[in-house]
Amino acid sequence: MLSKKMQSALNQQIAHELYSAYLYLSMASHFEASSLPGFAHWMKKQYEEETGHGMKIYAYVHNRGGHVELEAIGKPPVKFKSPLEVMNQVLEHEKTVTGTIHALYELAIKENDYATQVMLQWFITEQVEEEKTVVDIIEQLKMVGDARAGLMMLDRALGARG
């Protein structure tokens, strides 16, 4: 059984994950409007992944006998600049999510909630992968610079994400 404090923190994390999904969907819309369908596709995949993360925590709370209370989800930004600036925003956002996961893990340790610690290990590993992937895209965008041909090649590569 989850403590009230852990249940509340997990409910907040569901909101963080769903906000992430909403943010990435907003970024996808920006890329659609910017004629970068590969970047848009990548962001839509991120949207799906973040929604899945929220639902993973949702299921966990219920599996532990808790109750999910959905928090309000803030409105994401709708104006974005260059692909490099957007991906830098993604990296900063993922670092924030990593911080919230780490705070949850610290709470699970304080609460002696071993099951939640195990569940959160998956998210900790996932965040390492998320940040690395975004850093790789940022580095590729830096290499491309202002070269439109390079940007189009990277757009095609991101569009191939399964």
Ordered by start, the domain boundaries in the chain are: 4-157
Q: What's the pLDDT score for residue 162?
A: 85
Distance CA 73, CA 81 (A): 23
Q: What's the pLDDT score for residue 120?
A: 98
Residue range 40-85, pLDDT digits in tens: 999 999 999 999 999 999 999 999 999 999 999 999 999 999 999 9
| Residue 86 contacts residue 63 (beta carbons within 8 Å) | no
| Residue 154 contacts residue 161 (beta carbons within 8 Å) | no
What would the CATH number be for the domain defined by 4-157?
1.20.1260.10
- Beta-carbon count within 10 A of 72 CB: 7
Q: Which two tokens stand for residue 135?
A: 């850093």
Distance CA 42, CA 48 (A): 10
Residues of the chain with pLDDT > 70, as a percent, come to 100
Provide the mean pLDDT of the chain: 97
DSSP string covering 122-151: HHHHHHHHHHHHHHHHHHHHHHHTT-HHHH
pLDDT at 133 exceeding the cut of 90: yes
Pick left, alpha or beta for residue 112 (phi over 0 → left; psi -120 to 50 → alpha; otherwise beta): left
Q: Which two tokens stand for residue 154?
A: 């990277």
Residue range 109-128, pLDDT digits in tens: 999 999 999 999 999 999 99
Q: What's the pLDDT score for residue 74?
A: 96
- Beta-carbon count within 10 A of 41 CB: 18
